A and B are shown apart, each in its own frame.
Chain A
Amino acid sequence: MDDRRVDTAQRSFSRLFPYEWRMMTPLLAVMVIILAYPIAYSALLSFRNVDLTKPGRDAFVGFDQYVTVLKQPLYWTALTNTFIFVAVAVTLELVLGLALAVSLKKQKRFRNLTRAILLTPMFVTPIAVGLMFRFLLNNQLGLVPVILQKLGISIDFFSADLALLSLALIDVWQWTPFMMLMLLAGLENLPEEPHEAAHVDGANAWQTLIRVTVPMMKPIILVAVLIRALDALKVFEYVYAITRGGPGAATETLQFFIYKIGFGYYRLSEAAAVSWTVVILVMAVLVLSLWRTTRGRSA
């Protein structure tokens, strides 16, 4: 119906390269140019044994690197720590973000100011945030412990038990604004009727929130949580700035582990292998969990 005036040549061109694929070309072009080589390179790297301290010994070794990696206890510690970090941080961010979004929506005065201030932590580069908190939470040199000491509390923020939690809280400080932003937007777009209906039915604020608001926001909650979780998996700067993975292996995270192997010990192939195990694992989890959700939606 649309290209009625075209000639035969153009029509076959359209059939070979249909409109929708032509729309894809810029993205495909850019992604192929910038990602094809790096991804292929790193995948191939994981099947060799490139070690910069032993040049000339580079050879194809199949899955050897993967086996070496999976046999290291530190790898599993890093994996566990990272997943705990992500779970704690993202959950807190979701809850706090929701609370903030709901409160902001109902705020009468200063709304723009509050929102602007609350958004700023997102814009500070993570390593600066890490260093900031390293000194803020320092027992002798930091403001926070000084205040806590006045209340008689002494906390070792980076002890073996609390270090990972402290890092997660730093993540919460930095990224709750993102969650808040997404959820606020979702809130502003919800229709009023269900809320009014609930009010008429006698539901109180809490019940309305849990039974009406949150279920309606499921799609945006999903998007926000997914993006945030994928990003949190890559936590590195906080560890590097504050604890270097310690005490012991309490804050050893995947990215830090990969960084040490690749940039500290120069075993590039091993680092690539670790990275790919993470990619495969997370893709598997993602695909499985999202497939079930979108199956219902696209129907």
Chain B
Amino acid sequence: MTPQRGYKVFEEWGNWLFAAGGAIQDEAGNVVLDSPQARDALAKYIQTYNESAPANSLNWAFDEALRATAGGQAAMMLSYNWMLPTLNNPDGPAGELAGKFGLAEVPGGKAVLGAWFWAIPANSNNKDAAWTFVHWLTSPEQDTKRVIAGGAPVRDSVMDDPQVHEQGFGQEYYATVKEILKDASSLGDGPGAEEMIQAVGLELSAAVSGQKSVDQAVADAAKQAGEIMSK
């Protein structure tokens, strides 16, 4: 598990929250984090940490989880889908275990979504040139090449492309990715998102480490998130 304060713990716990039927913001953008589902999710997360996670791993982030899994000391990890190629790479960290890893959807069906973007600044002097570049980059041919090399797909069609299946990482991988993307939600939107994620991440970490009760942590997290997102 990756209970490190901030991004990591929230990124991971978000899946528990969604599985419990909870949400961070509703359609109107109001923070609805303070819910019985959230408390349930957090209690279960802490239980999982105490019972199934490696001992003494409160500050674990992505690195530690990857190495523990790759080294066979952990059976599975909740991580980014594009880590599968790394794990199955015979020259990679998994060594002898390479090729034995598979990707599965998060139990509960709804995953936390993370994404990268290309954006053109509003006050740019080269808007047209930038647009030409982005247009080219996201075209089907380029997207195919990028995805085969291991990049995250922009187009659905690329994930169905047999050429990609063959030269990339196999049909099963892309099919699973499509399934995951069907129902995935980000942690927050807008300029306040960073701060909100940090604030909630702090409270979650406090709960996991036993410094705060589940109820207190969820309430505090929701309150701060509300204040931040409404600024």
Chains A and B touch each other in the complex, with CB atoms below 8 Å apart: yes
Contacts from A to B (Cβ < 8 Å): 53-54, 74, 134, 138-141, 145, 154-160, 163, 242-250, 260, 264-265
10 contacts between A and B (CB under 8 A): A54-B191, A145-B56, A154-B56, A156-B55, A158-B56, A159-B58, A247-B59, A247-B208, A248-B5, A248-B209
Other than A139-B57, A244-B5, A248-B203, give 15 A-B pairs with Cβ distance below 8 A: A54-B191, A140-B74, A156-B56, A159-B58, A242-B59, A247-B5, A247-B58, A247-B59, A247-B205, A248-B5, A248-B202, A248-B212, A249-B202, A250-B209, A264-B195
A-B contact count (CB 8 A): 92
Given A159-B209, A260-B198, A264-B194, A245 contacting B6 (CB threshold 8 A):
yes
Contact pick for A243, options B5, B64, B208, CB 8 Å: B5
**Shortest beta-carbon distance from B73 to chain A in Å:** 5
* Contact, CB under 8 Å: B202 / A246: yes
B5 and chain A: residue at smallest CB distance: A246
* Contact, CB under 8 Å: A160 / B210: yes
Contact pick for A141, options B3, B8, B67, B211, CB 8 Å: B67
Contact pick for A246, options B68, B195, B209, B212, CB 8 Å: B209
Residues of B within 8 A of A245 (CB): 5-6, 202
Q: How far is the CA of A157 from the CA of B58 in the complex (A)?
A: 9
Q: How far is the CA of A159 from the CA of B5 in the complex (A)?
A: 11
* Contact, CB under 8 Å: A140 / B4: no
* Contact, CB under 8 Å: B4 / A157: no
Q: How far is the CA of A138 from the CA of B9 in the complex (A)?
A: 18
Interface of B (DSSP majority class): loop
* Contact, CB under 8 Å: A244 / B56: no
Contact pick for B55, options A54, A74, A139, A244, CB 8 Å: A139
**Shortest beta-carbon distance from B82 to chain A in Å:** 22
Residues of B within 8 A of A250 (CB): 209, 211
Residue B84 interfacial (CB < 8 Å) = no
* Contact, CB under 8 Å: A140 / B5: no
Residues of B within 8 A of A53 (CB): 191
* Contact, CB under 8 Å: A247 / B209: yes
Residue B206 interfacial (CB < 8 Å) = yes
Residues of B within 8 A of A260 (CB): 198
Contact pick for A264, options B71, B73, B198, B211, CB 8 Å: B198
Given A245-B6, A248-B211, A155 contacting B56 (CB threshold 8 A):
yes
Residues of A within 8 A of B194 (CB): 264-265
Q: Number of B residues whose C-beta is below 8 Å from A?
A: 33
* Contact, CB under 8 Å: B71 / A141: yes
* Contact, CB under 8 Å: A140 / B202: no
Residues of A within 8 A of B203 (CB): 248
Residues of B within 8 A of A145 (CB): 56
Residue B54 interfacial (CB < 8 Å) = yes
B217 and chain A: residue at smallest CB distance: A248
Given A244-B5, A247-B5, A248-B202, A140 contacting B68 (CB threshold 8 A):
yes
Residues of B within 8 A of A160 (CB): 58, 206, 209-211
Interface residues of B in 1-56 (CB under 8 A from A): 3-6, 8-9, 54-56
Q: How far is the CA of A138 from the CA of B54 in the complex (A)?
A: 10
Contact pick for A157, options B9, B56, B206, CB 8 Å: B56
Interface residues of B in 176-206 (CB under 8 A from A): 191, 194-195, 198, 202-203, 205-206
A138 and chain B: residue at smallest CB distance: B64
Q: How far is the CA of A114 from the CA of B5 in the complex (A)?
A: 40
Given A158-B58, A159-B209, A244 contacting B68 (CB threshold 8 A):
no
A52 and chain B: residue at smallest CB distance: B191
